[in-house]
Structure 1
Amino acid sequence: MFLNLFLLSQIIILLKIIKPSFEISYEYVFEDEKVFAECMDSPPGYSNISRLFDLTFFHTEMTPEGLHATGKLISSWDIQPTDRIEGRLSVLYLDRGTWQPTVLNMITRDFCKIYLDPKQFWYTCFPKYIINREEAEEKCFTHIGTEFVFEPFMPEMYFGVGINMPPGRKRIVITLAAVDLNNVTRPNGVCFEMRGEFYKVQKGTKTE
């Protein structure tokens, strides 16, 4: 859920979303206060969000106003500080009981270089509210024990696309893999999901 999912030269966007005159704005609304769910189709050797972070001191609560979050995340991924983190993001939708892919897919070869970029649509979801930003930028997720301390906040995720999103439930699936200095991918990757729905945003209001 922090996760500045990301538009620098390092990013390869499988579908590049350009802002056309007919762009539609959406807000992604989480369906569960736990936010991070297990991947339904996790790659072999990959584990859930608990491999990436110790969530003991991070608290979320769903209220009538929306999702509230506070506390801190502590990096717990057993990789090396010199590793490069590759990331993938895919959005799926539920269609008559079957999860189907959408055209929204993203790949980044160096997640740590862009995850705090304010231009990324996920920035207002988590990274914007990190208090110890300099430490977070320096250490990213490659240093075990790094604390990401948050001010109390309400995670929000807004972005615009040139297509109509299919209605109904969605899964944002995120996978992270560490690559060592020899360009070898470590086997202990991370996979987690954020489930919810997209709502069109018009003049500050949400519509189905």
Structure 2
Amino acid sequence: MCTTFVEENCKMYFNLFVLWQIIIVLRMIKPSFQIDYEYVLEDESVFAACVDNPPGYSNISGLFDFSDFHTEMLPDGIHVEGKITSTWDVQPTDRVEGHISVLHLDRGTWQPTILNLISRDFCKVYLDPKQYWYRGFPKYIINKEEAMEKCFTNMGTEYVFEPFISKLYFGAGFNVPPGRKRVVITLAAIDLNNATRPNGICFELRGEFQKFKEGMKIE
């Protein structure tokens, strides 16, 4: 029981105890408000050439051969089946840097947004189920072991897909403004001397984010 002499110290210790309990509770609950979106593509061809293509960069055809890859836009989404084959003329030992940027059409002009992602070693994470893009395409690769071993820096590597309906989902802690978007993806190969090869890849996914659920998630 606090005496008059130690009253201030008792109050201080009590306040510290309460603060510590609050911190423990917050760390256990970790509430996060998230708005979930689906990125609805505007074209069944899925991939488009970059509007501002960096010099020397190829479009998606410089990365994969799509001869045996088939897409069809139906009311429930884009149906996908077949396989793609790596055609990128780089070395298997190269490291791949990936950049993803989202641009928003505002009054006829494409404006950058805060939605950006950089991967310094894309081959290590492109089949990671925790990544945003995983549910879009990598999830449906049948020969995942071969894909993990070789990546697309090995020319001739095949990625065989089970038939699926493409759904691109994204969660954000803020409202994404409505309207057309461009998801711009660039890939650059870095050799063992840390030099960037000139034959990079640039392509886009054009569409619009549509909100489908809003609420609070408890982790």
**Aligned equivalent of 2:126, options 115, 119, 122:** 115
SS at match of 2:80: strand
Is residue 53 of structure 2 the alignment partner of residue 42 of structure 1?
yes
Higher helix share: 2
Moved over 3 A (4+): none
Aligned to 1:79: 90
AA at the equivalent of 1:70: E
Letter of the 2:206 counterpart: R
Distance in 2, Cα, partners of 1:29 & 1:20: 28
Tell me which amino acid in the other structure corresponds to 2:35.
Answer: I
Residue identity in the other structure for 1:77: W
CA distance in 2, matches of 1:201, 1:121: 16
1:12 aligned residue: none
1:109 counterpart letter in structure 2: R
d(CA) in 2 for partners of 1:182, 1:64: 49
Match of 1:154 in 2: 165
Q: CA RMSD in A?
A: 1.2
Cα distance in 1 for partners of 2:62, 2:31 equals: 39
Q: In the aligned structure 2, how far is the partner of 1:191 from the partner of 1:29?
A: 20
Q: Hey, what's the Cα distance between the residues in 1 that align with 2:106 and 2:31? A: 27
Aligned residues with identical type, % of pairs: 72
User: Which residue number in structure 2 is paired with residue 181 of structure 1?
Assistant: 192
Greater C-alpha Rg: 2
One-letter amino acid matched to 2:102: V
Q: What is the CA distance between 1:21 and its match in structure 2?
A: 2.7
Q: Name the residue aligned to 1:206.
A: none
Q: TM-score, normalised by structure 2?
A: 0.82
Are 2:154 and 1:143 aligned? yes
C-alpha displacement at 1:121, in angstroms?
1.2
Q: How many residues of Structure 1 are paired with residues of Structure 2 in the alignment?
A: 185
Aligned-partner SS, 2:154:
coil
SS of residue paired to 2:43:
coil
User: How high is the TM-score relative to the length of structure 1?
Assistant: 0.87
Alignment of 1:61-100 (within 5 A): 61-100=72-111
Tell me the residue number matched to 1:4.
none
Report the counterpart of residue 126 of structure 1 in structure 2.
137
2:34 alignment counterpart: 23
Aligned residue for 1:22, secondary structure, equals strand
Secondary structure of the residue aligned to 2:133 is coil
Query: Residue type matched to 2:186 in 1?
Result: T
Query: In structure 2, what is the equivalent of residue 15 of structure 1?
Result: none
Q: Indicate if the aligned counterparts of 2:77 and 2:167 stay in contact, CA closer than 8 A.
A: no
Superposed displacement of residue 20, structure 1 = 6.0
Counterpart-to-counterpart distance in 1, 2:116 and 2:89: 27
Letter in 1 for 2:121: D
**1:181 is matched by which residue type in structure 2?**
L
User: 1:20–1:162: 8 Å Cα contact kept in structure 2?
Assistant: no
Contact 1:171 1:196 (8 Å CA) reproduced:
yes
Q: Deviations over 1:108-131 (max 9, x none)?
A: 110000000001111110000000
